Chain A
Amino acid sequence: ILNVEQSPQSLHVQEGDSTNFTCSFPSSNFYALHWYRWETAKSPEALFVMTLNGDEKKKGRISATLNTKEGYSYLYIKGSQPEDSATYLCALSTGGGNKLTFGTGTQLKVEL
């Protein structure tokens, strides 16, 4: 079973702060890296799917980078808002049927 690690486990920031968190994975098994946002009482929703080393994706105030050689991805949120409060999951795909191995998530709380 692959080991996908996320840090920190939880994060409290003030509205307007920028923040980032990390997803680490075994670089030898890489095929694609997914980021999902999971708000309380809702279903996880896909943010990004990244496949190429050096890839950078952006959606509004959220962006992500990928380093497949060293096995990590960063997720950045610029100017955090209360609606950004959620658990952010990363998941590694090693090919073979779109199977995903998820990290434990980073729980973000943005306070006013």
Chain B
Amino acid sequence: DGGITQSPKYLFRKEGQNVTLSCEQNLNHDAMYWYRQDPGQGLRLIYYSQIVNDFQKGDIAEGYSVSREKKESFPLTVTSAQKNPTAFYLCASSIVSVSSYNEQFFGPGTRLTVL
């Protein structure tokens, strides 16, 4: 089945620890995205990547880092510098085209709780 996988579904970490969230896709999409959801807020873009070895900051990149070494994978590291890391994190992917309004396909999400 083609799709996006995120693991784990639930993640608990102690304050001050870095944690890496996994996102893998087998849709052969060039673009990948990380969003964060908090109660009462819309999905907010953390980072996105349109091609391997390149990525851009989204609206709330502070305290996060990403890498894009392979087309299929876009891991997100939540560093200790992120002030409010507890949230639900969604990964998405899309094709890249001239039209630039392609639908995004989402993974199931990871709920991170920092204790």
**A89: contacting residue among B4, B42, B58, CB under 8 A:** B42
Q: List 20 A-B contacts (CB under 8 A).
A: A1-B59, A31-B100, A34-B101, A42-B108, A43-B106, A46-B105, A51-B101, A93-B100, A93-B101, A95-B101, A97-B100, A98-B48, A98-B50, A98-B102, A99-B48, A100-B33, A100-B104, A101-B45, A102-B35, A105-B42
Report A48 CB to chain B, min CB distance, Å.
9
Known: A43-B108, A44-B90. A98 touches B101 (CB 8 A): yes
Chain B residues in 8 Å Cβ range of A46: 103-105
Interface residues of B in 62-115 (CB under 8 A from A): 90, 94, 96, 100-109
Residue of A nearest to B96 (CB): A98
In whole angstroms, what is the CA distance A34 to B90 when docked?
A: 17
Say if the beta carbon of B43 comes within 8 Å of chain A: yes
Listed in ascending order, the chain B residues whose CB lies under 8 Å from chain A are: 4, 31, 33, 35, 40-45, 48, 50, 56, 58-59, 90, 94, 96, 100-109
A49 at the interface (CB under 8 A from B): yes
Q: How close is B82's CB to chain A, nearest CB, in angstroms?
A: 18
- Residues in B neighbouring A44, C-beta threshold 8 A: 90, 106
Interface residues of A, dominant DSSP: loop
Inter-chain contacts of B56 with A (CB < 8 A)? 97
Interface residues of A (CB under 8 A from B): 1, 4, 31-32, 34, 42-46, 49, 51, 89, 91, 93, 95-105
Q: How far is the CA of A97 from the CA of B99 in the complex (A)?
A: 10
